[in-house]
């Protein structure tokens, strides 16, 4: 398994797009800036919605807080796109790094949680059926969201300190 991963990393590193990312002096830092800004948008908007689900800022209808959610998704897209850029540019820094796999694990948990919320509750939210007080199940979803995004940041920050990155 490790050998396959190493072969994959070596192949990816050999592609011309990977070289472009590595050779450029400005692309990596610009992606870092956008990665952090995307992270902020995501944490801010999704965190705001989660706090509302948990009962803070009760005078904000849940359906109204929901209308900002495209900004959380835009933040995620920005962070994901720049994150993939890092991976393509230097795959060997991630492919054997335990922090990378833990970050991906929490990314999967956070995204499945968000998809589950949309699948089950989106209609009720948009029909303003949850505006007063949502069912307690949405509070569990809000907590899972906050905790899993925090761990995504934690393991992302650990990338250079655990394993071989940077």
Partner 1 sequence: MMELLASLENSGFGIWLRESPSMWAYPAVLTLHTLGLGVLVGGNAVLDLRLLGWGRAIPLAPLEKLFPVMWIGFWVNAISGVVLFVGDATTKGTTWVFMTKLAIIVVGVVLLRALRRTVYGRGQDAVVETPTSRVLAAASLALWFLAIVTGRYMAYV
> Binding residue for partner 1 (CB under 8 A) from 71, 73, 111, 139?
71
End-to-end CA distance of the chain: 23
Q: Is 2 helix (H, G, I), strand (E, B) or coil?
A: helix
110 contacts partner 1 (rule: CB under 8 A) = no
163 contacts partner 1 (rule: CB under 8 A) = no
22 contacts partner 1 (rule: CB under 8 A) = no
DSSP 149: H
Distance CA 46, CA 138 (A): 13
**Least CB distance from residue 60 to partner 1, whole Å?**
5
Distance CA 163, CA 161 (A): 7
**Residue nearer to partner 1 on the CB measure, 9 or 159:** 159
- What binding mask, one character per residue, do residues 122-161 give for partner 1 by CB under 8 A, x or -? ----------------------------x--xx-xxx--x
**Residue nearer to partner 1 on the CB measure, 12 or 60:** 60
Please report which residue ranges of 90-166 form alpha helices under DSSP H: 98-126, 136-158
Q: Is 25 helix (H, G, I), strand (E, B) or coil?
A: coil
**Least CB distance from residue 11 to partner 1, whole Å?**
29
Distance CA 155, CA 120 (A): 29
**Residues at the site binding partner 1, with contacts judged by CB under 8 A:** 29, 32-33, 36-37, 39-45, 47-48, 56-61, 63-65, 67-68, 71, 150, 153-154, 156-158, 161
């Amino acid at each position: 398994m490790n050998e396959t991963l190493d072969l994959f990393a070596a192949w990816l590193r050999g592609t011309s797009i990977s070289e472009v990312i590595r050779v450029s002096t400005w692309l990596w830092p610009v992606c870092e800036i956008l990665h952090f800004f995307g992270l902020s948008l995501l944490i801010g908007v999704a965190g705001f919605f989660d706090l509302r689900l948990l009962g803070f800022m009760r005078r904000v209808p849940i359906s109204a807080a929901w209308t900002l959610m495209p900004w959380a998704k835009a933040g995620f897209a920005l962070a994901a796109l720049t994150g993939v850029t890092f991976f393509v540019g230097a795959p060997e820094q991630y492919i054997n790094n335990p922090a990378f796999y833990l970050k991906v694990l929490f990314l999967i948990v956070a995204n499945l949680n968000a998809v589950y919320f949309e699948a089950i509750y989106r209609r009720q939210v948009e029909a303003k059926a949850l505006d007063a007080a949502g069912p307690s199940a949405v509070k569990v979803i809000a907590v899972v969201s906050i905790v899993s995004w925090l761990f995504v940041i934690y393991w992302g920050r650990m990338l250079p300190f655990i394993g071989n990155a940077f």
